């Protein structure tokens, strides 16, 4: 195999792999840089006169896996980049009725010229069979050198982080005022969009903590000072590959996202007719299932129904009673003849299925090219065996942003360093999915919460690296994705690292060796204006509104001369007057080399209503040391509330910090739950290990 063929294989494989956020290119780069800094430091003598030796434990294998996953991600980017009256009530109770519910939805519309309805399975077949255009990246070095060079150049990971809005800031301010009178307030999952729930491995309803532990969910009663493990949901052992990915908890209902590998032996259709024996091969397919449970009796949860969908789990969202499931499935044509494509599709032979039924041809969107089927189904959890609607969108690789009324698919076309970002909008009112428009912009979305919808109108920030120096742009679209206004040439030579939207103001951070925080007025959509620019050392990877007049930034402190990272930095910005931004205070934690919360927003606790800022960090100095840090903003400064050692608690990416009333909890599936008393200096109360 030649080097070019190997590189092509890597890129094709990347399009089939969903890379965890914690090992995205930016996260891997941060970890590699931290380890490299440790290696470059002179070895220190220990008290016994012996040099400290780095004790990696399981780290090398994890790091190699992370780099490999990041390589796949880079290949992919290179290839392109409670009965409420307002909710739909699903009445289909039988398999036939469920199928009719799918078929009788409104006629699907094209998403401009980007994604068009296939109408026939042969059209899908032709789109999949069409060879992808070669990447514009030019490879002259070995493939390892190219991967590492691109990883070094990567400053953005397509991952979600909380998106701000005026309602969010107002709610935060109201919660801060009410917190002192509400001792039973409790943590919620950190969301990208207010009003759009997201799944996670740890949830609480204020009385119980639910923890995903591989193939089971552990239910812990925390209503009293002493925690008790009172129940669990365990998957059937019929298939050992079953694992719970994440879950939702809403009142007395719990939804599990389960993924499994189905393997079987199949006879090869290409076997030689004169062969002495039949030729078989192992065929493995990934499916994702949404299981719904009644948990009114926490000691004995009862399954109410499930929906099974082809493909590996990509993401999901829940709005009211409607759960939207996104899975990715590669379309294989190796054993399908074009003349038999329709019959084979209807049998579920090559078209992905939902509840055993192939997605219909008039619910499939095809682009100019693409081999990945993004399957989206909507499920009313009040009728958990049935599907409201389902579509498949053929693509190469896309990321997803979900608002309360629509979801947007976006991905890069062309060179990893330049090219355009293609965007398609799909409405999803009451679970019915339909295209609403498409457009394209210059550059790349380097932080997914730089994309945001307000009142049906899309706002978008991109970074374009195609020229001699990077250039940043802001685009404003109407509800049909018609361009209304734009702002170009922002902070040339720098790249966007973080953004938040508040009403008609967008705040975003760019970085080279210093961190400019910009405020841009979007009131006049045809003529957005930069109001101010604040420069400080370091840069923020995560932004969170702190009431109506402050903005929290979490990122890295750096040397302004050479960009060397010095530690994790907390900064509080005064945004009471967007035209005059200034810093209220900052804190640098020098003993953290790696902080996964900067790369996946679900890992960080940022609760202005309770004045809590929490995240886990890891240091590689002397030996690997892991801690959970908890801070508050008080009297114009960041105050440490607690530092808890986590060396025995497994991967810090799985740790969640949460509060319920006067108690604080650290939850990790590997080690259980530790409780602390918030009103007694965060004194440790109990450590509960799961049975």
> Is the model's pLDDT at 88 over the cut of 80?
no
Rounded-to-integer distance, Cα 335 and Cα 316, Å: 31
pLDDT of residue 281: 54
Q: Rank 4-13, 50-59, 137-146, 512-521 by mean pLDDT and report only the highest.
A: 512-521
Query: Which residues, including other chains, have CB under 8 Å from residue 212's CB and lie 6 or more apart?
Result: 201, 202, 244, 245, 246, 247, 669
CB atoms < 10 A from the CB of 174, how many? 13
Whether 72 contacts 13, CB under 8 Å:
yes
Q: How far is CA 32 from CA 64, 67, 344, 657, in A?
A: 10, 9, 47, 26
Give the confidence band of 448 by pLDDT, cuts at 50, 70, 90: confident
**Percentage, residues of the chain above pLDDT 70:** 72
pLDDT of residue 192: 93
**Would you give the distance in Å from CA 77 to the centre of its chain?**
16
Give the confidence band of 25 by pLDDT, cuts at 50, 70, 90: low
> Is the model's pLDDT at 542 over the cut of 70?
yes
Whether 604 contacts 631, CB under 8 Å:
no
> Is the model's pLDDT at 141 over the cut of 50?
no
Q: How far is CA 425 from CA 81, 407, 467, in A?
A: 17, 6, 29
Give the residue with greater pLDDT, 554 vs 49: 554
Which stretch of 208-212, 238-242, 544-548 has the lowest confidence by average pLDDT? 238-242
pLDDT of residue 56: 26
Query: Which residues, including other chains, have CB under 8 Å from residue 666's CB and lie 6 or more apart?
Result: 628, 644, 646, 649, 655, 656, 657, 673, 674, 676
pLDDT of residue 344: 84
Give the confidence band of 268 by pLDDT, cuts at 50, 70, 90: low
> Is the model's pLDDT at 87 over the cut of 80?
no
> Is the model's pLDDT at 171 over the cut of 80?
no
Rounded-to-integer distance, Cα 576 and Cα 300, Å: 51
Give the confidence band of 444 by pLDDT, cuts at 50, 70, 90: very high
Query: Beta strands of 603-655 (E only): which ranges?
Result: 605-607, 612-619, 625-634, 637-645
Rounded-to-integer distance, Cα 226 and Cα 232, Å: 18
> Is the model's pLDDT at 626 over the cut of 70?
yes
Question: Residue 152, CB half-sphere, CA atoms under 13 Å: how many?
Answer: 7
Rounded-to-integer distance, Cα 515 and Cα 509, Å: 7
Mean pLDDT of 564-580: 94
pLDDT of residue 369: 78
pLDDT of residue 84: 37
Query: 270 — alpha (psi -120 to 50), left (phi > 0) or beta?
Result: alpha
Q: Rank 83-87, 162-166, 344-348 by mean pLDDT and report only the highest.
A: 344-348
The total number of residues shown for the chain amounts to 691
State residue 65 phi and psi, 5-degree precision: -60, -40
> Is the model's pLDDT at 151 over the cut of 80?
no
Mean pLDDT of 535-558: 93
pLDDT of residue 27: 57
Rounded-to-integer distance, Cα 556 and Cα 563, Å: 10
Of the candidates 619, 589, 634, 103, the one whose C-alpha atom is nearest the C-alpha of residue 354 is 103
CB atoms < 10 A from the CB of 577, how many? 12
pLDDT of residue 332: 85
Rounded-to-integer distance, Cα 466 and Cα 447, Å: 18
> Is the model's pLDDT at 12 over the cut of 60?
no
N- to C-terminal Cα separation, the chain: 50
Give the residue with greater pLDDT, 229 vs 39: 229
> Is the model's pLDDT at 544 over the cut of 70?
yes
Of the candidates 522, 436, 521, the one whose C-alpha atom is nearest the C-alpha of residue 482 is 436
pLDDT of residue 343: 85
Mean pLDDT of 188-202: 95
pLDDT tens digits, 310-333: 999 999 999 999 999 999 999 988
**Percentage, residues of the chain above pLDDT 90:** 60
Mean pLDDT of 568-593: 95
pLDDT of residue 413: 84
3-state secondary structure of 101: helix
Mean pLDDT of 588-610: 93
Mean pLDDT of 487-507: 95
pLDDT of residue 345: 84
DSSP type of residue 450: G
3-state secondary structure of 411: strand
What order of strands is seen across the sheet that includes strand 202-204?
Answer: 202-204, 208-213, 216-221, 228-234
State residue 560 phi and psi, 5-degree precision: -65, -15
pLDDT of residue 148: 35
Helix (H) or strand (E) holding 119: none
Mean pLDDT of 162-189: 52
Query: Beta strands of 222-347 (E only): which ranges?
Result: 228-234, 243-250, 253-267, 280-294, 302-310, 312-319, 322-330
Of the candidates 483, 372, 465, 364, the one whose C-alpha atom is nearest the C-alpha of residue 423 is 483
Name 6's bridge partners: none
Of the candidates 626, 631, 659, 666, the one whose C-alpha atom is nearest the C-alpha of residue 645 is 626
State residue 17 phi and psi, 5-degree precision: -110, 130
Of the candidates 114, 81, 146, the one whose C-alpha atom is nearest the C-alpha of residue 466 is 81
Of the candidates 405, 578, 572, the one whose C-alpha atom is nearest the C-alpha of residue 503 is 578
pLDDT of residue 256: 97
Name 525's bridge partners: none
Give the confidence band of 35 by pLDDT, cuts at 50, 70, 90: low
Task: Provide the pairing of β-strand 389-395 with 364-366.
Answer: parallel
> Is the model's pLDDT at 61 over the cut of 60?
no
Q: Rank 31-45, 71-85, 197-211, 269-283 by mean pLDDT and report only the highest.
A: 197-211
- 109: which 2 tokens? 């519309």
Give the residue with greater pLDDT, 48 vs 470: 470
Give the confidence band of 337 by pLDDT, cuts at 50, 70, 90: confident
pLDDT tens digits, 469-488: 999 999 999 999 999 999 99
Of the candidates 523, 497, 519, the one whose C-alpha atom is nearest the C-alpha of residue 507 is 519
Mean pLDDT of 525-537: 95
Give the confidence band of 160 by pLDDT, cuts at 50, 70, 90: very low
Whether 35 contacts 63, CB under 8 Å:
yes
């Amino acid at each position: 195999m030649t080097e070019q063929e190997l590189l092509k294989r890597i890129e094709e494989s990347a399009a089939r792999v969903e890379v965890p956020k914690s090992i995205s290119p930016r996260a891997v780069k941060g970890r590699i840089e931290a380890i490299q800094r440790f290696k470059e430091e002179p070895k220190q003598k220990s008290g016994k006169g012996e040099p400290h030796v780095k004790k990696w434990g399981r780290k090398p294998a994890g790091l190699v896996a992370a780099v490999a996953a990041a390589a796949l991600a880079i290949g992919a980017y290179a290839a392109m980049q409670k009965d409420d009256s307002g909710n739909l009530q699903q009445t289909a109770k039988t398999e036939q009725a469920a199928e009719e519910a799918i078929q009788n939805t409104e006629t699907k519309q094209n998403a401009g010229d980007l994604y068009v309805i296939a109408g026939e399975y042969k059209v899908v077949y032709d789109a999949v069979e069409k060879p992808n255009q070669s990447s514009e990246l030019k490879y002259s070095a070995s493939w390892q050198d190219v991967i590492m060079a691109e990883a070094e150049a990567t400053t953005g990971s397509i991952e979600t982080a909380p998106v701000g809005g005026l309602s969010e800031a107002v709610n935060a301010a109201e919660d801060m005022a009410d917190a002192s009178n509400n001792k039973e307030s409790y943590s919620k999952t950190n969301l990208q969009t207010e009003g759009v729930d997201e799944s996670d491995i740890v949830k609480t309803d204020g009385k119980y903590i639910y923890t995903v532990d591989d193939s089971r969910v552990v239910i812990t009663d925390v209503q009293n000072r002493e925690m008790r493990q009172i129940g669990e949901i365990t998957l059937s052992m019929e298939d050992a590959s079953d694992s719970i990915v994440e879950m939702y908890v809403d009142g007395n209902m719990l939804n599990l996202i389960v993924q499994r590998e189905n393997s079987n032996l199949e006879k090869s259709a290409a076997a030689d007719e004169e062969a002495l024996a039949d030729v078989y091969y192992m065929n493995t397919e990934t499916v994702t299932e949404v299981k719904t449970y009644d948990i009114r009796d926490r000691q004995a949860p009862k399954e109410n129904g499930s929906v099974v969908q082809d493909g590996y789990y990509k993401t999901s969202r829940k709005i009211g009673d409607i759960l939207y499931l996104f899975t990715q499935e590669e379309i294989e044509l190796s054993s399908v003849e074009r003349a038999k494509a329709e019959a084979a599709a209807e049998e579920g032979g090559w078209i992905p299925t939902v509840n055993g039924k192939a997605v219909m041809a008039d619910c499939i969107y095809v682009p100019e090219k693409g081999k990945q089927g993004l399957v989206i189904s909507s499920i009313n959890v009040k009728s958990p065996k049935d599907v409201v609607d389902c579509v498949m969108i053929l693509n190469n690789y896309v990321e997803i942003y979900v608002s309360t009324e629509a979801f947007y698919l976006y991905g890069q076309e062309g060179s990893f360093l330049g090219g355009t970002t293609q965007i398609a909008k799909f409405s999803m009112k009451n679970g019915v999915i339909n295209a609403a428009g498409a457009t394209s912009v210059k550059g790349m979305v380097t932080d997914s919460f730089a994309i945001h919808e307000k009142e049906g109108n899309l706002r978008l920030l991109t970074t374009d690296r195609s020229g001699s120096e990077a250039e940043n742009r802001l685009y404003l679209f109407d509800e049909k994705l018609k361009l209304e206004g734009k702002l170009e040439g922002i902070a040339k030579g720098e790249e966007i690292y973080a953004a938040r939207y508040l009403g008609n103001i967008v705040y975003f951070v760019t970085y080279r060796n210093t961190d400019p925080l910009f405020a841009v007025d979007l009131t006049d959509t045809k003529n957005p204006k930069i109001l101010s620019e604040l420069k400080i050392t370091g840069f923020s990877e995560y932004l969170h509104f702190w009431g109506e007049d402050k903005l929290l930034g979490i990122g890295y402190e750096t040397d302004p001369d050479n960009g060397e990272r010095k530690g994790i930095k907390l900064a509080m910005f005064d945004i009471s007057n967007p035209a005059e931004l200034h810093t209220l205070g900052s804190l640098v934690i020098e003993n953290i080399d790696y902080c996964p919360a900067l790369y996946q927003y679900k890992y960080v606790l940022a609760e202005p209503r309770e004045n809590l800022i929490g995240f886990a960090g890891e240091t590689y100095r002397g030996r690997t040391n892991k801690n959970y840090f908890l801070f508050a903003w008080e009297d114009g400064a960041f105050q440490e509330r607690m530092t808890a050692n986590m060396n025995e608690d497994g991967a810090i990416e799985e740790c969640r910090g949460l509060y319920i009333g006067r108690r604080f909890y650290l939850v990790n599936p590997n080690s259980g739950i530790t409780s602390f008393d918030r009103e007694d200096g965060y004194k440790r109360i109990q450590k509960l290990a799961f049975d």
